[in-house]
Amino acid sequence: MNLYYEDVEIGRSYTTPGHEITVADIADFCSLTRDHHPLHSDADYAKEAGFPGIIAHGLYGLALMEGLKTELKLYEETSIASLGWNNVRFKHPIVAGDAVYVEMDFTAKRESGSRPAGIITEAVRLMRDDGTLLIDAEHISLIRKKP
Percent of the chain with pLDDT over 70: 100
Cα 141–Cα 145–Cα 147 angle in degrees, nearest 5 = 150
CATH of domain 5-20+57-144: 3.10.129.10
Instruction: Give the span between the Cα atoms of 106 and 64, in whole angstroms.
Output: 19
Query: pLDDT-based confidence at 123, cuts 50/70/90?
Result: very high
Please state the domain extents for the chain.
5-20+57-144
pLDDT of residue 125: 98
Q: Is the pLDDT of residue 115 over 90?
A: no
Q: How much is the mean pLDDT over the chain?
A: 95
Q: Is the pLDDT of residue 147 over 80?
A: yes
Indicate the SS3 state at residue 80.
strand
Query: pLDDT-based confidence at 114, cuts 50/70/90?
Result: confident
52 secondary structure, DSSP code: S
pLDDT 10s digits, 12-70: 999 999 999 999 999 999 999 999 999 999 999 999 999 999 999 999 999 999 999 99
Percent of the chain with pLDDT over 90: 95
